[in-house]
Amino acid sequence: MTDSATKYSVTRRRFLRDATLTSLGLIAAACAPTTGGPTGGGGGGAKGGEFHGGWPYVLAPQGHWNFFATNAILGGGIYTDLFIPSLAVYRWVDAKWDFWLAQSAQQNGDTYEVKLRSGIKWDDGTPFTSKDVATTYWVGRLASYGIWNFIDKITTPDDQTVQFHYSKPTSLGERLILRNGIKPDKIFGALGKKAQDFYTGGGTNSSDAGKALVAEMNAFRPDKPYSVGPYKVDPASVTAAQLTMVRNTGGLFADKVNYDKVVVYQGETAEITPLVLNGDVDYATHGFPLATDKAFQDKGYKIVRGPIFTGPALYFHWENAPEFQDKRLRQAVAMAFNRDEAGKIFYGSSARAPQYMVGFADSLVKNWTTDQSKFNSYAFDAAKADQLMKDAGYAKGSDGIYAKGGKALAYELYFPSDFQDWAAAATYTADALTKFGIKVTARGAIRSTQLPDTNAGKFTIAMNPWGTGNPHPQPSLVRPFREFSKDAPGGGMKYPLTQTYSGGSINFDTVLDDAITGFDTAKQKDPIQKIAQAFNELLPCIPIYERLNNNPINDKARTAGWPGLDDKIYQQGGGDNFAIVMIMDGTLHKI
């Protein structure tokens, strides 16, 4: 195994985690009405054995057991679902919810009512009740849980009922309610009561009292882990190398899961790669380079290449690169280099250029737009790109670079150097565009430097992400118009949100709000179509490729029950991880 096959950045790993897992902030989203009952499928497998996974977690004293705060052990990862599960999990292909801690849920006017399962206990024997859910969301308000942008109160009529009242009805609300891990009232109840009293009394996080309460929440440190799921973390097992979860006999699906233990090896890609290769890890999510991917295949492992719904894109600063205010130049760039090739350099078949070019993943387009014929794919075509440049008044000089009015087109492409895949794509893109006739010099800096710089507008062309792992397209569309422009510290690329396209004038900020207003997602397709069509024509950013996962599955050592690679379960978004779903419903079991 070569060095290039095992090296990978900590920052990169966490970036992918944050881009694909369920967000607790404004961009978390959901799209489908609640249907169905308890988790189905699976079951009947052999009991016992162990499941071995991998995840980078933070050790004590920096690591801790407060899952509202940063640096919680396993925080932000897929394995927390096994001990602090959410109310439900989303089935992406079926567009429905499978209920976990919830028994059912329904919208009644402006109130979303959740009925909870009975007979479930925390690992200390305390019954699971509506108090745990209410406390989770009151403390969650201190942690900026996104649902509080749309609701104004939570009530608990009885131990098995929780009611969320909307002040701003939105289809984003369902995911923001159903897909957060539930924490125990016994541990967080006092803090939850403080938060409830503070907010119902008119308090805000921006006040001094609010800041103090948020600081108290962040500083709180439970002395041990807790669980209402089928497994609990054995605190004595937590080391720099691995940790072990054992059965929680009173928890959710305790009778359904098959494994006696779940072992999680600690590490980024460099540490996890050899463990996968030697058979110690059954499943990993780290995003492996091409050489490693091939090594896994040589071992006979299955490689799941499901959607991640995000990837790198080119962003043009409106003021620092004013030539690109002409949409024809952006359209030319989109066709001037082979975007498929830009992804395959690093990932092979685990990257693909989007075909619809609408600012959200292709797999969401047919469910959310009304006329896909309006979308240009911008397939690689240097001749068409050249014609667009000529139409815009540019001609190549003797040096082969396009110029107009004596000014040649020359820019810098600013990319995160610690994202190895993006660095490869940036180098390829800069070389290809220079060959085409737009001189581009690639310059990298680590993400912790590059992101603040791009937020502050210190660039001409920058590489930032497009898309995000949510089943509603609006959070993906937020990225170019708000996250990396209007809401960015310093204004980001300063893209004006009122634009003109073939459909007329559009205010992206207003239509983004229209796309999530109310509970009827069918009515949201018109504003989504409008934004998608305008995005496709104006290209406020140019998506280069969508990253697909390349998760190795070893079904030869310990685990069995994995469906064939064409099964719809592998189309799950990262925030509703397929392996966790299949552990929870009993599909996976020992050999």
| 28-33: average pLDDT | 30
| 525-552: average pLDDT | 97
| pLDDT tens-digit readout, 426-484 | 999 999 999 999 999 999 999 999 999 999 999 999 999 999 999 999 999 999 999 99
215: which 2 tokens? 């600081």
Q: Torsion angle, CA of 200/201/202/208, rounded to 10 degrees?
A: -120
| pLDDT tens-digit readout, 62-87 | 999 999 999 999 999 999 999 999 99
Q: Is 254 exposed, middle or buried (0-12, 13-18, 19+ CB in 10 A)?
A: middle
Distances (CA, A) of 540 to 369, 482, 511: 19, 11, 15
Q: In what order do the strands lie in the sheet with 402-404?
A: 395-396, 402-404, 407-408
The answer to whether 171 and 472 are in contact (CB under 8 A) is: yes
Q: For strand 461-466 and strand 410-416, is the pairing parallel, antiparallel, or unpaired?
A: parallel
Nearest to 226 by CA among 188, 178, 266: 188
Reply yes or no on whether the pLDDT at 371 is more than 50.
yes
The answer to whether 184 and 134 are in contact (CB under 8 A) is: no
124 Cβ contact list (under 8 Å, min separation 6): 186, 226
Confidence band of 39 (pLDDT split at 50, 70, 90): very low
147: which 2 tokens? 């649902």
Is the alpha carbon torsion for 104, 105, 108, 112 positive or negative?
Answer: positive
Confidence band of 44 (pLDDT split at 50, 70, 90): low
pLDDT of residue 246: 98
Q: Is 338 exposed, middle or buried (0-12, 13-18, 19+ CB in 10 A)?
A: middle
Q: Is 44 helix (H, G, I), strand (E, B) or coil?
A: coil
Query: Residue 383 pairs with which residues in a beta bridge?
Result: none
Domains and their CATH numbers in the chain: 3-228+550-590 (3.90.76.10), 311-547 (3.10.105.10)
30: which 2 tokens? 């959901």
Reply yes or no on whether the pLDDT at 377 is more than 60.
yes
Q: How many CB atoms lie within 10 A of CB 403?
A: 16
The answer to whether 35 and 97 are in contact (CB under 8 A) is: yes
Residue % of the chain over a pLDDT of 70: 93
Reply yes or no on whether the pLDDT at 7 is more than 80.
no
pLDDT of residue 420: 86
* Claim: this prediction has a pTM higher than 0.85: yes
Confidence band of 15 (pLDDT split at 50, 70, 90): low
Query: Residue 544 pairs with which residues in a beta bridge?
Result: none
CA of residue 127 relative to chain centroid, distance: 32
196 Cβ contact list (under 8 Å, min separation 6): 138
Nearest to 360 by CA among 210, 191, 481: 481
Of 85-89, 267-271, 580-584, the poorest mean pLDDT is in: 267-271
412: which 2 tokens? 């810098």
240 Cβ contact list (under 8 Å, min separation 6): 59, 266
Reply yes or no on whether the pLDDT at 42 is more than 60.
no
The answer to whether 47 and 258 are in contact (CB under 8 A) is: yes
Residue type, 216: E
573: left (phi over 0), alpha (psi -120 to 50) or beta: beta
Q: For the chain, how big is the Rg over CA atoms in Å?
A: 24
Query: Which residue is listed with tokens 């792992």?
Result: 469
